[in-house]
Structure 1
Amino acid sequence: MNYHTTLLEDAIEQFYFSLNIHHPQELKMKAIAELLEIPIHFVPISSRTYNGEIIIDSRLFPELQWEHFGHELCHVLLHYGNQILNINILFLQYQEWKANNFMLHFCVPTFMLQKYNITNINEGIPFIMEEFKVTQEMAEIRLNHFRNQLQISKLQQQLNALQQK
């Protein structure tokens, strides 16, 4: 079955390829930040971006730091301005939703996930947690999203087959 990727999935794949990153073991926030020349700081305050720099809460365990990095990286790469002072609340919520969606695909990229034959969700969640170094919640959300996209691809193929008759 052909998996129909989204524009975000395609963009993240191209992004990682441009950094010569192809495997989950290469997903290292400090190395990625260095390649992008984005300063990253680990301090005991809530994660955020500030003047193009990423601040990660040093009190968090590594899996959550990785997820926060993905979220904050989206703000640095795709958003502009001071979210607190100069932005409508609805647009702020939209940017946060986009950053969370980016984080899901950034931390567990589709092109890497497709390399594995995950057939059972109960086995897939711990596998994703271990392979991609994410939390259980993230692994579950990402796996459900991936399975939904597989279903959409399957339905699209069936629809295409019916249209060709």
Structure 2
Amino acid sequence: MYSHLEDYIYKLFKSIGITKPTDLEMKLIAKKLGVNITYDENKLFRLDNEVSLKKGSKVQEWIEFAHEVCHYLRHCGNQLNMHPLFRQLQEYQAEYFAYHFCVPTFMLDRLFNYTIRDIMNIFNVDYDFAVRRLEIYRNRHMNQPVIWFNR
């Protein structure tokens, strides 16, 4: 059984034709979501449909993109005017969203006998990110009864 976030990401990706790890391409997804990517060396931010990233490796940019897409899709308001605790909540949500966006559960479910290195290569994420994502996945899905159905 998927969580609300896992279902949300599954439906989002399905709606834009993202079905396998090779489809997880930042510029393609941005275009399909109507997001413009810009680069700013000083800060990351999202304003309307613009996502600003720091120039970095493809891995860093992919993870930052996922974080900022969460703000674009799921948050509203100006964080500068928010109570610090609410801003902190939004940042936590965006970080958690990024794990599921970069390494979607429905794609992980299709893999067998994989290593952390496999996750890094398949999903274009770094070691720490892959380790944390697998912890989240295993904590959520490995202790549940198996229910077979087609997605």
Q: TM-score, normalised by structure 2?
A: 0.91
In the other structure, the counterpart of 2:13 is 16
In the other structure, the counterpart of 2:133 is 142
The answer on whether the counterparts of 2:34 and 2:49 sit within 8 Å (CA) in structure 1 is no
Larger helix share, 1 or 2: 1
Q: Tell me the distance in 2 between the aligned counterparts of 1:111 and 1:149.
A: 13
In the other structure, the counterpart of 2:101 is 106
SS at match of 1:152: coil
**Percent identity between the two aligned chains:** 36
1:117 aligns with 2:108: no
RMSD: 1.6
- How many Å apart are 1:51 and its aligned residue? 3.3
The answer on whether the counterparts of 1:124 and 1:143 sit within 8 Å (CA) in structure 2 is no
1:63 aligns with 2:59: yes
Q: TM-score, normalised by structure 1?
A: 0.84
In the other structure, the counterpart of 2:74 is 78
Gaps of 5+ in 1: 158-165
Q: Tell me the distance in 2 between the aligned counterparts of 1:37 and 1:150.
A: 32
Q: Which has the larger radius of gyration?
A: 1
Gaps of 5+ in 2: none
Q: Tell me the distance in 2 between the aligned counterparts of 1:152 and 1:45.
A: 42
Which fold has the larger relative contact order, with Cα–Cα distance below 8 Å and residues 6 or more apart in sequence?
Answer: 1
Number of matched residues? 147
